[in-house]
């Protein structure tokens, strides 16, 4: 175990040294390249900030208005068909929109049901098998100024549904109901 920890602790410094050595071999000024990349990164942050703020603002309004609870009550019978407990419907609804909101819901689920409950295990598996679609699309597409996402969102929503179904199925098989 100590050998594993030593290797794990050395990976990043070794990787950085390899980059510097390779850059020196290719005659690239590492410091200037780093500064240039940092400047580009700051410009990207300022460019995408309105998209991120807009998405977070909309999610907070959605939760605070009670619309999430109304949608939860309307959609939970559909999710119940695939075996998703009603308690996890808010997580399934918020996960495509916000990682931080869904992580907050996950913490609440752990507190309420305990980390070893089947509900918590399904929730954890859902978090690992789904993505924050709308946040990611707003971030990446917004940063390169693409306004038409074509099939990205429907395909991503379909993959999220597949992740939810797989989480329910695998957890019920593995941990029993």
pLDDT digits (tens, 9 = 90+) for 24-57: 888 888 888 889 988 988 887 887 788 778 777 8
Domain annotation covers residue 111: yes
Provide the sign of the torsion angle of the four alpha carbons 91, 93, 95, 97, taken in this order: negative
On whether residue 12 sits in a domain, the answer given is no
pLDDT band at 172 (very low <50, low <70, confident <90, very high): very high
More confident residue, 62 or 110: 110
Structural domain contains residue 38 = no
pLDDT over 90, % of the chain: 30
Domain count, the chain: 1
Range with the lowest mean pLDDT among 53-57, 67-71, 116-120?
53-57
Domain presence at residue 36:
no
**pLDDT average, residue stretch 117-122:** 94
- Are the C-beta atoms of 166 and 129 separated by less than 8 Å? yes
Residue 149 within any structural domain of the chain: yes
Residue 59 has pLDDT above 90, yes or no: no
> What are the structure tokens assigned to 142, written together?
């917004």
Is 70 inside any structural domain?
Answer: yes
Closest to 100 (Cα-Cα) out of 5, 121, 34, 108: 108
Write down the pLDDT at residue 177.
63
Sign (positive or negative) of CA dihedral 147, 53, 122, 70: negative
Mean per-residue pLDDT for 89-106? 86
Q: Is residue 62 part of a domain?
A: yes
Residue 72 falls within a domain, yes or no? Answer: yes
Task: Note the pTM of the prediction, 2 decimals.
Answer: 0.68
Confidence band for 140, pLDDT divided at 50, 70 and 90: confident
Per the structure, the complete domain to which residue 139 belongs is given by 46-175
């Amino acid at each position: 175990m100590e050998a594993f920890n030593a290797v794990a602790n050395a990976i990043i410094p070794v990787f950085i040294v390899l980059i510097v050595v390779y850059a020196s071999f290719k005659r690239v000024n590492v410091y200037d390249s780093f500064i240039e990349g940092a400047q580009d990164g700051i410009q990207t942050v300022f460019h995408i900030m309105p998209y991120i703020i807009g998405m977070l603002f909309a999610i907070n309004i959605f939760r605070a208005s009670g619309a999430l609870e109304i949608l939860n009550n309307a959609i939970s019978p559909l999710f119940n068909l695939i075996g998703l407990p009603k308690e996890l419907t808010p997580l399934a609804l918020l996960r495509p929109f916000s990682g931080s909101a869904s992580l907050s819901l996950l913490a609440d689920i752990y507190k309420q049901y305990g980390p070893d409950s089947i509900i918590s295990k399904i929730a954890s598996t859902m978090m690992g098998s789904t993505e924050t679609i709308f946040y990611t699309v707003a971030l990446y597409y917004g940063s390169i100024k693409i306004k038409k996402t074509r099939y990205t969102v429907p395909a991503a929503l379909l993959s999220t549904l597949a992740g939810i179904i797989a989480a329910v199925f695998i957890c019920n098989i593995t941990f029993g109901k």
